[in-house]
Amino acid sequence: MKKADKEQLVAELTAQVKECDALFLTNYKGLTFPQITEVRKAVKESGSDFKVVKNTLLKIALNNNEIDSMDSYLVEPTSVAIVKGDVAAAAKAMKKYAKEFDKFEIKAGYLDGNALTANDVNVLADLPSREELLGKMLGSINAPVVNFVSLLANIPRSLVNVLSAVKDKKDN
């Protein structure tokens, strides 16, 4: 790779890292090209980007964004998921392939200014998705209204039952 190409790649990575919501570093050593392509496709479907990058170039891009807590993880072949949007969805995809492919390993992550260990990324993957959380919140907001409407519907029903019981008593 020519020096100009490297500088352009570092500039692109620096811009992507600056705009991202999270980063996940993985070790892909031993994976075949179709396996890496499968991981890349799954991560991209979650709305993120997945790249295989030289450690030195990624380190420069991270340091350009004042992220030096990831330097110790930049050993052996490294791929990076640059997450925009739903962080849990990308973490789920990474965890899925870490289980499926023995040689694919989550090294670390970076979220909201904090370095994450591999265990932290796995815990993040176990969180419900954004849509699930929104559904639960909507259900919680909607529950009092539904209960109130049900209560209001029970009042006339109870009155009808009482009147029916009085009518039956008078008939007997």
pLDDT band with cut points at 50, 70 and 90 for residue 118? confident
Residue 13 DSSP one-character state: H
| Secondary structure letter of residue 71 according to DSSP | G
Of the ranges 42-46, 97-101, 129-133, 140-144, which one carries the lowest mean pLDDT score?
A: 129-133
CATH no. of 3-127: 3.30.70.1730
Mean pLDDT computed over 29-50: 87
Check: pTM over 0.85? Answer yes or no.
no
Residue 34 scores a pLDDT above 80: yes
pLDDT of 130 above 80: no
d(CA 60, CA 7): 10
Residue 139 neighbours by CB under 8 Å, 6+ apart: none
CA distance linking residue 89 with residue 127, whole number of Å: 9
**With contact defined as beta carbons under 8 Å apart, do 80 and 25 qualify?**
yes
Residue 102, pLDDT above cutoff 80:
yes
Q: Among residues of the chain, what percentage have pLDDT more than 90? A: 1
Over residues 80-101, the mean pLDDT reads 87
| Confidence (pLDDT) at 122 | 87
Q: What is the mean pLDDT of residues 152-165?
A: 83
- Which pLDDT band, with edges at 50, 70 and 90, does 156 fall under? confident
What backbone torsions phi and psi does residue 5 show, to the nearest 5 degrees? Answer: -65, -40
Q: Please, which pLDDT band fits residue 14 given cuts at 50, 70 and 90? A: confident
- Average pLDDT, stretch 130-149? 84
Q: Where are the domains of the chain?
A: 3-127, 129-172
d(CA 4, CA 74): 23
Which amino acid makes up residue 34? P
**Closest CA relative to residue 127, chosen from 103, 95, 152, 159:** 95
Q: In sequence order, which residues have a C-beta less than 8 Å from that of residue 68 and are 6 or more positions away?
A: 62
d(CA 21, CA 111) in angstroms, rounded, equals 7
- Enumerate residues 6+ apart whose C-beta is below 8 A from 106: 24, 25, 26, 94, 95, 98, 118, 121, 122
Looking at residue 87, its pLDDT comes to: 84
